[in-house]
Amino acid sequence: MSSADLTSERDLPQRETATEGDVAPEHDGPRDTGMDDASLHRWLARAWRTPPGIIGALSSVDHKVIARRYLITAFIFLCLGGLNAVAMRIQLSGPQRGLIGPDLYNQLFTMHGVTMMFLFAVPIVQATGIYLVPLMVGTRNIAFPRLNAFGYWVYLSGGVFAWVSFLLNMAPDVGWFAYVPLSGPEFSPGKRADVWAQMITYTEVSSLAVAVATIVTVFKQRAPGMSLDKIPLYVWALLVTSFVVVFAMPAVMITSTFLILDRLVGTHIFNPAEGGDALLFQHLFWFFGHPEVYIIFLPATGMVSSIIPAFARRPAFGHLGLVLSLIAVGFLSFGLWVHHMFATGLPKLGASFFTASSMLIAIPNGLQIFCWLATLWDGRPVIRTPLLFVFGFFFIFVIGGLTGVMLASVPLDLQVHDTYFVVAHFHYVLIGGSVFPLLGAAYFWFPKITGRMMSERLGRWHFWLAFIGFNVAFFPMHLVGLWGMPRRVYTYPAELGWGNINLLISAGAVLFFLSFVLFTFNLVHGVLKGVPAGDNPWDAGTLEWATSSPPPSYNFTRIPIVTNVEPLWAERDALPVATGLRVDVRELLISTVAEAHPDIREKSATPSIWPLLAAIAVGGTFLYSIFTPWAVVWGAVPIAVTLVGWFWPKGDPEDEE
């Protein structure tokens, strides 16, 4: 590729009107230099448009289109998982209720965990990143856009596969963690555990695809001048999260592959009678499982770091400290997995190291909270719905963090292990640490995605219903857990005296669910009848607000030049811009990793149906392999055909040159 013929970061006096004399040779096609805005819009809209019709829609590689599909799909799975939870809580609202039998309860329990962890929590935070990261770093599309589209189709097929199996009475019933030997061939005949194993593979392939695309986008497609110290905190959070995904997700894919080999091929990897090791499953699973908590939590902290400065009316306090905290949490998350296994009889000396690391990770998390509080303290906070959810996050997550430090103590953990105390803890961490910031982010970035505002009044009602309902539902679980109520049970005897408190818990769960009904109504109302938002309704300072709301297909008419971590506040009049990119083709600016100096011009992939066809081939292979291992052999043929079609050279003379 030829080097980028662009204005550099030093050319800051250049504003909306580009300088002349930066014109490419005629055979290279027209560039944006010297064009007026109307002409530039026509050229870019033609080059970056999604083809019309159904085939065009299925071929789209626009990161915003893919992200919206992820968000809608993940929200549907959230509703399904929430209905599972309500059904379980109705069953547990009183002793000896017979509304749900043990077999169906096990499926509901497993599908609730699988849906919330694998089909909602991880995909929705990655989807938010797919939409926002390219906008926040000032580029026109995500890196590897076809890989990004492929990831969505694989995710969709895996989720549909899991829920269709539930409707066919084939849903997994071994818990979202599927411990052996319970999930092994001896204790789980049939195909239910196989569905769990292959569904894991579907979703992790999707997550890895998104992580790779995000890493390359952040490192190589930042706007000129956006050096490492000027990257927005949300982008830093997604970058660290993507690295955690790359290193953690293969562990659970190995776990599910070993499990299905034991079940379908007759290996004995987890069978102690034949030289295998059942605890190996837990080590591999939790080596992924604990970093997954931070895969969910780290993007949420990035959301908080975007919301607070916008409403405090000042940049985040301790930007460098917040970045280093994100990196520290990412590293430390890989050293905690054994604190899920204190009751398995591991050596006490080894357990003490994991106790120490479990307490150590509270330090960078606490540092982030103090930086956020300092930002609010030194700012002029404007209380709006997104900030209310941040306040709720502070309260709920701190409680979850404190009970996490308690569970890091081996003696206490042995007493409350597998009780409802643990259920209360991880819901406080996951919902307080992820869902509340995510809801705040939904209100914050909704106008960017739709161009309209959600109702502030309904938003405040939503917050208080969610906050009260959540705490009524989950705080009493600490108490009933300390009283000895085990988790994963579908009923309990009346003489144990747990009936009244479980009725209170179930009432809180229903209230929490109703808050999401109100949220759904607010979403739909906002899309259909919301007040027009304008380009930057919050007067925020990061680049996603520098373009229209919703953004055009090409994101930015001209690539901005960044001079500050909050560029829209630093350049109130007009952003400096870079020129020199072609407008007749999809062309991106590739910049250097550290300083984001313009490096080369690179073409972005055009719409293609091949990612969808490749996902169908891969998904069909995964599905068929449940019934015969030969599916891996025969499935390689359609996968190879679709990959050849995907990557077949198109004979572009410039590419060959």
So what's the pLDDT on residue 26? 44
Structure tokens at 257: 């592959």
Q: Is the pLDDT of residue 20 over 70?
A: no
Q: Is the pLDDT of residue 253 over 60?
A: yes
Q: Report helix angle 278-312 to 385-407, nearest 10.
A: 150
- The residue behind tokens 């306090």 is 317
Residue 587 to residue 593: CA distance in whole angstroms: 19
So what's the pLDDT on residue 7? 47
Q: Which residues fall within 8 angstroms of residue 574, CB to CB, at 6 or more apart?
A: 15, 16
Could you tell me the pTM of the whole model? 0.93
Q: Which residues fall within 8 angstroms of residue 376, CB to CB, at 6 or more apart?
A: 308, 312
Residue 651: pLDDT band with limits 50, 70, 90: low
| Dihedral, CA of residue 81, residue 82, residue 85 and residue 89, to nearest 10 | -170
Instruction: Name the residue among 646, 559, 588 with its Cα closest to residue 9.
Output: 559
Residue 572 to residue 586: CA distance in whole angstroms: 29
Q: What is the pLDDT of residues 333-381, one digit of tens each?
A: 999 899 889 998 888 888 888 999 888 998 999 999 999 999 999 999 9
What is the number of other CB atoms lying within 10 angstroms of the CB of residue 363?
12
Q: Which residues fall within 8 angstroms of residue 466, CB to CB, at 6 or more apart?
A: 392, 436, 439, 512, 515, 516, 519
Instruction: Name the residue among 594, 607, 542, 550 with its Cα closest to residue 569.
Output: 542
So what's the pLDDT on residue 431? 93
